Structure 1
């Protein structure tokens, strides 16, 4: 919403309040103040039993974080008629709508919850009916409806923008390093298969072998390719075959009959050939896509950051899979530019890009989000893996000299903050947690890795 629209909504809010006396506005606020916790509990009670909202809310999340947030929202919304801060109130509703769009909570679900609050208001009033409460209820319903309208305006605008970016990202990611990824992932699939066959035919007993869905190829396809080619019929078939191979792999691990094991291996090989053929079909895409790469490092830029993190958070919540984020910043980078020149600084940044790509799996995401600021989104990764990768990056940067065109060389260091996804649906909290960990690493003297709480 632009400033003109926000100003118009502030005037409308003021107009609603002008229809009521100061005493009525104060009584309405006191009523909300006295019953806000009851109203909030009623809202989330409904949310927890609704099938559509169960994926967004858990009882623990509600009790620890959301009860206080909604309670504060109620008190703030009904204090506006008293403090006359209409513009601030509109901005608040606008921000709440943005959060709902980020998280993906549908607007109709919020409206359902608001209806539950209104129903509870009338129920409470009926327990102690007074003539003036009809007017109070009228005001409460109007403010609830109007504030929800503002949220929905903001929600729709942000959702449309996000959908456009998601569509663009699907196309972009489908084309990103097509030739490289095609050969790399073909090799990853073959390596997984060959390793299994080696273990089987080496007559080893009691060996373990990673399931295909958790291999380099499987993670890449599930977390990147499946989204990039969403809507293609091959995607669902490939995912189905991957899970079938996982089941066959488990049977191989417990099979004690040689002939049966050979049959299982042959089935795996046949399904892998089918997977490979279907992936080749998906890569037969040739269309110009607006670049989402940083021109200097060739890492992803900020354009698709929110889209990617939102999708991986959704996957993490649905599959109870760990997700980690590294926030990385070059220490005292200005000194490099000042002492060695901007060309040397560019070499350092390009080196950073190479280190990040070489330190992670094909299913992970590397971003350059600022001048010397980077992010690594590590899928299916707990803090142990995140810390190992962070230390690998930190040591390699510290120990590798950067050679300039003039023949000089210099070293630099990085500070890294690690954050483990905590289950909250708003991706901004995840980003903020990684940033906080990075600041802590900086404050601890730089050139270190800090694990966020």
Structure 2
């Protein structure tokens, strides 16, 4: 979220507080603190009656934790006093918005819940026998505070959701075009086909009054609907888009209107522009682009960039199919000693061999990641408690029995510590990651070369 947005919200929030009487602030603080449990209960009783909310709030652990979290959120929001930390309060709204985006709770559900809270708080105020003026002021302050908090959540939600959506789309493209060099040649070929088609139509006169637009060609459609999205952070992408517009809006009309030297000049310039596009396209594919960034440079495994996309997809699949999946996190034991004794080149060589080993010993439907350093993770799809543990133990045992080699050919044996966590219905993948991290930590703490399991309990 940008500093400008945050500063604007801080300024608005400060004005809201300054424009509210101390009596009203104190009364709302005490009323919210006294009735926080009832407010949270009212919120979730209404929320769970709708199908679109029950999908996200069906897990018992979620309901239990969220009920307490909502109470604390309300208390923190209205605990306005001498030591009120507005920046921390705003940071909390950002965090909540990011969590909602991560588990894809629609904002309309949050807004609906806010509406119920306002209605319930109005009834609480009526029971306090306040003067109409004070009652209206307190209700206005309560409503305005909720609105500005939800506004901040919305900013965080939108930016996080957009970022996750881009990552999901890039992952989809990545999964389709796993060989980037092939995709690059395919698009260069599509661009060449359009250029050849243009030259043929122009010289033979087959166009029926219209020359083929680059934006409507196979390359143009790929670039507009896929490439520009996947590579949007790179300046070369914008330059390609500009070249396409120049060709379609300036040079093709020049050729269309003139069948003489001016038209040929337009054709010559188009050929120069397409050469430029090919150069830019090649540059994009060879740089650390969004698609290339999905693979670890050393091992060519998936890196953590696409882990959220994969986990969200597997959570959705598990819900729809009533199946399970698991995370198997592994760390090479005493890997620092390998680097210190044999050098980092040897360490990299070991990492590459282990990566190939994990891929060759995983099912084609599983996802193998290198998270960084000597840590790897496998997403085991369509498993249950028993066979997931069997897979984990077999993998650990196979690594221990495998003979790896140093760059000079000398044999070396390595072992791995592993943590295993089964998906248990919680909609936030971060919860599952915390569980598998804890299991891996326990495996290393308890002696290494072992598997520790976090089963599907709440």
TM-score, reference length from structure 2: 0.72
What is the CA–CA distance in structure 1 between the aligned matches of 2:385 and 2:355, rounded to whole Å?
22
Distance apart, 1:35 and its partner CA: 1.0
Equivalent pair of 2:126/2:135 in contact (CA under 8 Å): no
Aligned length: 348
Question: Which residue of the other structure, out of 152, 156, 160, is the alignment partner of 1:154?
Answer: 156
Distance apart, 1:61 and its partner CA: 4.0
Distance apart, 1:97 and its partner CA: 0.4
Partner of 2:363: 361
Most deviating of 14-23 and 153-162: 14-23
Distance apart, 1:381 and its partner CA: 1.1
Distance apart, 1:361 and its partner CA: 1.5
Partner of 1:301: 303
Partner of 2:26: 26
What are the equivalent positions in structure 2 for 1:217-228 lying under 5 Å apart?
A: none
Residues 59 and 128 (structure 1 numbering): CA distance in 2 closer, same or farther, change over 3 Å? farther
What are the equivalent positions in structure 2 for 1:89-238 lying under 5 Å apart?
A: 89-131=89-131, 132-176=134-178
| 2:46 equivalent to 1:46 | yes
Distance apart, 1:313 and its partner CA: 0.9
Partner of 1:290: 291
Residues 82 and 47 (structure 1 numbering): CA distance in 2 closer, same or farther, change over 3 Å? farther
Equivalent pair of 2:59/2:426 in contact (CA under 8 Å): no
Structure label with greater radius of gyration = 2
Distance apart, 1:360 and its partner CA: 2.1
TM-score, reference length from structure 1: 0.73
Distance apart, 1:408 and its partner CA: 2.5
What are the equivalent positions in structure 2 for 1:252-271 lying under 5 Å apart?
A: none
Equivalent pair of 1:383/1:418 in contact (CA under 8 Å): no
Distance apart, 1:144 and its partner CA: 0.6
Equivalent pair of 2:349/2:407 in contact (CA under 8 Å): no
Aligned Cα root-mean-square deviation (Å): 2.2
Partner of 2:17: 17
Please state whether the residue corresponding to 1:83 is helix, strand or coil.
Answer: coil
Partner of 2:218: none
Residues 62 and 411 (structure 1 numbering): CA distance in 2 closer, same or farther, change over 3 Å? closer
Structure 2, unmatched stretches of 5+, are 182-224, 226-283
Partner of 2:60: 60
What is the CA–CA distance in structure 1 between the aligned matches of 2:407 and 2:454, rounded to whole Å?
39
Equivalent pair of 1:55/1:318 in contact (CA under 8 Å): no
Residues 428 and 5 (structure 1 numbering): CA distance in 2 closer, same or farther, change over 3 Å? same
Distance apart, 1:428 and its partner CA: 0.7
Residues 126 and 23 (structure 1 numbering): CA distance in 2 closer, same or farther, change over 3 Å? closer
Equivalent pair of 2:171/2:291 in contact (CA under 8 Å): no
Partner of 2:74: 74
Equivalent pair of 1:438/1:450 in contact (CA under 8 Å): yes
Residues 59 and 341 (structure 1 numbering): CA distance in 2 closer, same or farther, change over 3 Å? closer
Distance apart, 1:13 and its partner CA: 1.6
Please state whether the residue corresponding to 1:393 is helix, strand or coil.
Answer: helix
